[in-house]
Every structure is written in C-alpha cells, then in structure tokens.
Amino acid sequence: MKLLSILFLVFLMSCTKSTEPDPIRVELRGADLSELAQVRNSGYTLYDLDGAPSDMLVSLKAAGMNVVRLRLWNNEQDPISGFAAVSKLSREIKAAGLKVWLTLHYSDTWADPAHQTIPEKWKQLTFSALQDSVYQFTRQVVTDLKPDYIQLGNEINNGLLWPQGNLNQPENLRSLIAAGSRAVHETDASTRIIIHYAGLDGAETFYSLFSPTDYDIIGISYYPNWHGKDLDWIKQRLNRLSSALGKDIVIAETAYPFTLDWNDQTQNLIGSTDQILPQFPPTPAGQRDFLAYLKQMMHEIPAGIGFCYWGGELVSYKGNQATDGSCCENQALWDFKGHALPVQEVFKP
C-alpha cells in the first residue's frame, strides 16, 4: 500500500510538471547600443530594474541581454561609429561576457533603404576595385574586432554602395555581398553573417538574389508603423521566408513607445496612436508586452533565433531643451527620469 502511494505521488508530480508552459527561450536577446559612449560622456544618470544607479551596459546585461549590436561606418574619424570607437566598445562588450553584432553600413554615414551613400574614398573606384575594397575592409573588421555576428550592409532593400551596388544592378549587388561574405569566411568561419532587409514586402524575391553560402541569418526590421500591423501576417511571413530559404531568422531591429510624450524639443519618430498597435497601448506595460509578444513569436517560429531592440539607449541625454537630441526618447529602454522600464524584463533568458 505504501509503495502504491509513493508511485501515485510520483505520477502526480510528473503530471503537474508536464503542464507547465515551455520557457520562452531565444538565442539572441539583443540591443543596439551604438551611442552608449555618448550617453556615458554626458553624465546622464540611469537606474537599473532595482532602482540603483547603474551603467547602461551593466543594467541590460543584468536584465538578460546577451548580444550588443553596434554600427560601424567607413569614416574612421567619426567619434561614435568610426573604427577606433567601435573597436574599443567591442572589446569592452566581449570582456563583459556578451556577444558582439557589428553592422557594416559601408558608408561614411547612416545607410537605410533610402540612403546608401558610397564612402568618399571609394567614390572614384572602378567596380573591380570597389569589390576589393569591400573585401579588404570587411576582412580588417573581422580580423581586428572578431564579431560574433556581422551584417553586410544595413537595410539593403535597394542595394548598397550606390550607384554601383544599386538593386537595379542585381549582378553588381550580388558580387559586392559575395566579396564581403568571402572576407568573413576566409578570416573567421565562426562569425555568422546577416543580410538585413527592412520589412517583409518583397523580401523573398530580394533574398533569392544571393547564394545560400553568402550568409547564415535573415535579419528583418519590424516597426509597426512602416512594416504592418497584422501580427498574424507578420508571423506567417517570417516563418514562410525562413522556411523557403532554409535560414535562421532574427528581428534585427524593432522598437515601441512607452509614451507619446516628449522629453526634449526634438521631433519624435513615433507620436500618435495611428502609428502603433491598438492591442499594445503607449505605456510602460504596453511597450513590455509588445516586445514579449515578438519574443514569443520568434520562439514559436522553428528557425526564429531572437530579436534586437533599436534605439533603446537614445534617452534625452542632451537635456529637455535640446533641438538636436533624441527622436526616440519615448521608445528608449529607460523612462524620462532615467529609470529602467519593465520592457527590460523581456531580455530575461
């Protein structure tokens, strides 16, 4: 009788355990912290989830972030995104036990679907010389910075290194990506290559331009205002894209407001309810729930490997009267008083 009772208890415990939900685990729980040094230099005080003063990198690591995304421009003199500045920050990130995700813009400034300006020193090159410059630059980056993940271009929907690498010259675009890819493979085969596209419209056709050996991960930007508000459709397209191409997929950029108010005099990117999702209000809880939803989505997609939050460090560190401050302070990972927002809880493994 005693043995039967023990067996019954074991059975009951196993049944109880099996009904617990699966943990929401994703490989990448990242944040783009490209302007971390600027925030630090400003002396702006930030607080962690426990309310204690804390450095931005330290707070996010404690919250569960495991990879930091940094942009790298070709302009070596840029104090934020030049080679020396990014190299220094990369070393610190690695020393903290975090992974580094580099975004090569292949430009002296911002690159996105509407801007892919060729670096000044590459403007007069022949196409053959341009290919070699992409190869040599990428090889130097991988050799010196040793990133865990590397993007060949940023939101290259319409190509990169215009005019030679414009999408309207697909063979050129393919050759430039192949040059960057070859540089990575020949330098450090463990570095995973991301090709980054903004949104999902046209994505399958775009990725079909490249050889499967050119990259490892599909990187997609997803912002509701620009890329769609039907989350079921977004999930279906992400899943279909990764399945069709046989690749891992990551949300390479996303963000969401915790308020529609401003904390400086700089125009914000998001400022009205028609730009966001009705099921996630512009509140601290709504911001947290939005990112938690995306994390769950990527957990459920077989090839989904995670997310990266963009602009989380863009607090109003220049002061509330700045007209050249942050256009994203209402989407940051800290509130207007510098306190960590509950969205940081989503970085937990």
Residues designated as active site: 155, 253
User: Is the Cβ–Cβ distance between 312 and 31 less than 8 Å?
Assistant: yes
Rounded Cα gap, residues 65 and 313, in angstroms: 13
Residue 227 CB: number of other CB atoms within 10 A? Answer: 17
How does the average pLDDT of the chain come out, rounded? 94
Per the CB < 8 A criterion, the answer to whether 119 and 162 are in contact is no
Q: Residue type at 265?
A: Q
Within 10 Å of residue 244's Cβ, how many Cβ atoms? 12
Q: How many CB atoms within 10 Å of residue 76?
A: 11
Band of pLDDT at residue 7, cut at 50, 70 and 90: very low
Residue 21 has pLDDT above 90, yes or no: no
7 bridge partner residues: none
For 277-326, how does the pLDDT look when each residue is reduced to its tens digit (9 = 90+)? 999 999 999 999 999 999 999 999 999 999 999 999 999 999 999 999 99
User: Which pLDDT score is estimated for 23?
Assistant: 65
Label residue 49 exposed, middle or buried (CB < 10 Å: 0-12, 13-18, 19+). Answer: middle
Q: Are strands 99-104 and 28-32 parallel, antiparallel or unpaired?
A: unpaired
Q: What is the pTM of this model?
A: 0.93
Sorted by where each starts, the structural domains of the chain and their CATH numbers stand as 29-347 (3.20.20.80)
